[in-house]
Amino acid sequence: MIQPFIIGTRNAGAFLHAGAAILGQGGSALDAVEATTRLVEDNPEDTSVGTGGIPNLLGVPELDASIMCGRTLRSGAVGAIKGFKHPISVARRVLEECPHVLLVAEGAERFARMMGCEAGDLETETSRRVYRSFVADAFEHEGIDESQAWVVEYVRSQGLREWYARLADDHHGTVNVQAMDADGNVACAVSTSGTALKFPGRLGDSPIIGAGNYCDNRYGAAACTGRGELSMRASTARSLIHFLAEGLGVEAAARRAMKDVHALSSYGAMNCLLMDAHGNTVSATTVSGRESIHWFMDCHASEPQRRVGINVTP
């Protein structure tokens, strides 16, 4: 019998205790991944998730999140939601209360208010400074035009596609958390502020079930970080689970999915986190030379264990 366990991306390592404690008390995988993800969303040092996430092109933080239950395949997701501290909990309420899977923007905010989810300011000194310095670099002055009309000028002068290609891959952070509980149920949570300085309204892969997040008790759980446009085009999370269902092990499945991303012949990095129903785990990156790591903690461990994943080059 597999001990209940929880895994997470690099930025979740320090917070796995919370989920492991829930699992150790007989709690559900869904509760464990939500609780751990909330702590990452609360971490102001993390500039790619929740509070402190670098804002969009207009200087507004827009958050994406999703959560999925491997027993029922029910899922909930929110995209481009503003002004709520824990998009993962709004996504959980979508899963529990809503007939839909994905709510975005004003609709997601309306739903979050209806559900009594916690509202709040997501900006930090660091996220404001990064935005101001971006504006200053782009326009060689310190002021931010209140009308934001400069964005139109900026986008025209750069060309949106060229500008997006030039954005560094370290502007794409996300948290992935996956768990298996004592009943063998699997859950997966993903949360992000998306690409730093993204075009307003841009959704990445994190709220798209099948792209950035997927799980199924029979096979395991899968999620992605990196340029969401890649995993949206390659249906990476669902593909990873499909490869497990076809009999591949976690490492072979991750290799195959990352090769599919390379086949897109596009710019940007993609990374995945994968666990199977037997408790095997792997992380993978398409970037050569970058260490792919994830954290593993079973419910009786005192500390999470650092695990090194694989690099998949073209």
Coil, strand or helix at 125: helix
- 37, 174, 236, 286: which one is catalytic? 174
**Half-sphere exposure at residue 74, Cβ-oriented, CA atoms within 13 angstroms:** 13
Distance of closest approach, residue 48 Cβ to ligand GLY, in angstroms: 8
Of 165, 172, 182, 250, nearest in space to 205 by CA: 172
Binding ligand GLY (rule: CB under 6 A), the pick from 226, 244, 258, 260 is 226
Separation CA 84–CA 61 (nearest Å):
10
CB 10 within 8 A of CB 293: yes
Which one, 195 or 285, has the nearer CB to ligand GLY? 195
Residue 228 in the binding site for ligand GLY (CB under 6 A): yes
Q: How far is the CB of 66 from ligand GLY (least distance, A)?
A: 11
In the region spanning residues 191 to 220, those forming contacts with ligand GLY, defined by CB under 6 A, are 192, 194-195, 204-206, 212
Kindly state the greatest CA–CA separation across the chain. Answer: 62
Shortest distance, position 283 Cβ to ligand GLY, whole Å: 14
Count other Cβ atoms within 10 Å, centred on residue 255: 18
**Phi and psi at residue 36, in whole multiples of 5°?**
-65, -45
Residues 38 and 113: their CA atoms lie apart, in Å, by 18
Comparison of 174 and 217: residue with beta carbon closer to ligand GLY:
174
105 versus 301: smaller Cβ distance to ligand GLY: 105
Residue 87 is a binding residue for ligand GLY (CB under 6 A): no
Report how far residue 42's alpha carbon sits from residue 283's, in angstroms, rounded to the nearest whole number: 24
Least CB distance from residue 84 to ligand GLY, whole Å?
A: 17
CB of 250 to ligand GLY, least distance (A): 20
Please give the residues from 235 up to 294 whose contact with ligand GLY meets the rule CB under 6 A: none
**Angstrom distance (rounded) from CA 236 to CA 231:** 5
Determine whether 9 is an active site residue.
no
Cβ-based nearer residue to ligand GLY, 185 or 192 = 192
**Footprint of ligand GLY (CB under 6 A):** 172, 174, 192, 194-195, 204-206, 212, 225-228
- Residues labelled as active-site residues: 174
